[in-house]
């Protein structure tokens, strides 16, 4: 079956070749890069490096979504991300995704040249987000999260996590379509680590093929996440990059079409190896 992602009226065919989304955190408290890219110039430099390593998309964010992270005011988030988006847009045609939960930030980012809205609330957090999504033709990442980044890891519970995520995807596709958003604009994301225990994350990874509701492509974001640290029984962030690459290959084999990662080059290689075997 063809796997198409419609972004700004352009069909991106993910059937044979998946996409790697490189993470550009413009935050002082990002859990895995310690805010190294808060300065605009360094963030842009990092973004261009990720492109040179093969990133198909840059996911630029100015508010951390790690468990317990402090919310950021829209003005501050805009101050962080807009100069980076503008500078990257002026240098390259590579797709840019805005990682935000705020409609005002998403709208300004799209006006500044972003192509995709990656809202971890699945467009349910900010009441104005749905309208923003309707009024532009950006691609959309619809992620599953139980709770909010502040509350999500407080005793996550599901009867059947796979079934609940599937049901959520079905409901979101239905209500977004009713609002006038075509399914082709949407990529689905099970939201690894967002209100899930290690067991929930493993169940979701095993069941990736079942999560592609209505044939929509699946995005997987496990890069440097604590589930890897838990499985390795290691506190060291540096220990999480190679296992991330292993999970990228595994997820691609199970049908994921987009991976969101910090370390782009080895994950691009992992995607291409998995695709060579998939044929």
**Active-site annotation, residues:** 225, 260
Least CB distance from residue 81 to ligand 9MG, whole Å?
Answer: 12
Find the binder of ligand 9MG among 149, 221, 243, 266 (CB under 6 A).
221
Find the binder of ligand 9MG among 3, 27, 30, 65 (CB under 6 A).
65
Least CB distance from residue 221 to ligand 9MG, whole Å?
Answer: 2
227 scored as a contact of ligand 9MG (CB under 6 A): no
| Residue 113: both structure tokens together | 């040249």
Least CB distance from residue 118 to ligand 9MG, whole Å?
Answer: 5
Find the binder of ligand 9MG among 143, 186, 228, 249 (CB under 6 A).
143
Least CB distance from residue 258 to ligand 9MG, whole Å?
Answer: 9
| Residue 235: both structure tokens together | 């506190």
- Rounded to whole angstroms, the Cα distance separating 52 from 69 reads 31
Give me the residue whose beta carbon is nearest to ligand 9MG. 221
109 scored as a contact of ligand 9MG (CB under 6 A): no
Centre a 10 Å sphere on the Cβ of residue 163 and count the other Cβ atoms it contains: 12
117 scored as a contact of ligand 9MG (CB under 6 A): no
Residue 218 pairs with which residues in a beta bridge? 188
Q: Which of residues 4-63 bind ligand 9MG (CB under 6 A)?
A: 61
H-state helical runs in the chain:
40-52, 74-91, 103-111, 129-134, 161-178, 198-206, 208-211, 226-232, 241-253, 264-278
Count, residues near ligand 9MG per rule CB under 6 A: 13
Contact 115, 92 (CB under 8 A): no
Of 90 and 220, CB closest to ligand 9MG = 220
Residue 96 pairs with which residues in a beta bridge? 58
- Rounded to whole angstroms, the Cα distance separating 106 from 112 reads 10
- Rounded to whole angstroms, the Cα distance separating 229 from 200 reads 15
Find the binder of ligand 9MG among 77, 99, 126, 263 (CB under 6 A).
99
Find the binder of ligand 9MG among 120, 152, 161, 249 (CB under 6 A).
120
Find the binder of ligand 9MG among 3, 27, 118, 132 (CB under 6 A).
118
- Rounded to whole angstroms, the Cα distance separating 23 from 60 reads 6
Residue appearing with tokens 């045609």: 93
- Rounded to whole angstroms, the Cα distance separating 44 from 67 reads 26
Q: Which of residues 180-219 bind ligand 9MG (CB under 6 A)?
A: 189, 191-192, 219
- Rounded to whole angstroms, the Cα distance separating 266 from 242 reads 8
Per CB under 6 A, residues contacting ligand 9MG are: 61, 65, 99, 118, 120, 141, 143, 189, 191-192, 219, 221, 260
């Amino acid at each position: 079956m063809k796997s198409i992602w419609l972004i700004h009226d352009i069909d991106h065919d993910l059937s044979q070749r998946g996409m790697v989304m490189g993470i550009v955190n413009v935050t002082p408290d990002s859990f895995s890069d310690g805010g190294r890219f808060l300065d605009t110039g360094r963030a842009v430099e990092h973004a261009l490096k990720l492109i040179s390593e093969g990133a198909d998309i840059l996911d630029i964010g100015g508010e951390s979504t790690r468990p317990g992270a402090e919310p950021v005011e829209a003005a501050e988030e805009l101050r962080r991300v807009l100069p980076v988006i503008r500078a990257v847009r002026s240098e390259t045609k590579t797709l840019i995704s805005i990682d935000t939960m705020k409609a005002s930030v998403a709208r300004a980012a799209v006006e500044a040249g972003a192509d995709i809205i990656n809202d971890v609330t699945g467009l349910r957090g900010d009441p104005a987000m749905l309208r923003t999504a309707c009024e532009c033709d950006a691609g959309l990442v619809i992620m599953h999260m139980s709770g909010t980044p502040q509350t999500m890891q407080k005793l996550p519970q599901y009867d059947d996590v796979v079934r609940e995520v599937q049901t959520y995807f079905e409901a979101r596709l239905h209500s977004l379509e009713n609002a006038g958003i075509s399914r082709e604009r949407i990529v689905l994301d099970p939201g690894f680590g967002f209100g899930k225990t290690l067991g929930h994350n493993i169940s979701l990874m095993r069941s990736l093929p079942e999560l592609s509701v209505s044939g929509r492509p699946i995005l997987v974001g496990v890069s440097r996440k604590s589930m890897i640290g838990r499985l390795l029984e290691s506190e060291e962030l540096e220990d999480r990059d190679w296992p991330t690459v292993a999970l990228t290959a595994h997820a691609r084999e199970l049908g994921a079409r987009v991976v969101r990662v910090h370390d782009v080059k080895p994950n691009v290689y992992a995607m291409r190896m998995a695709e060579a075997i998939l044929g």
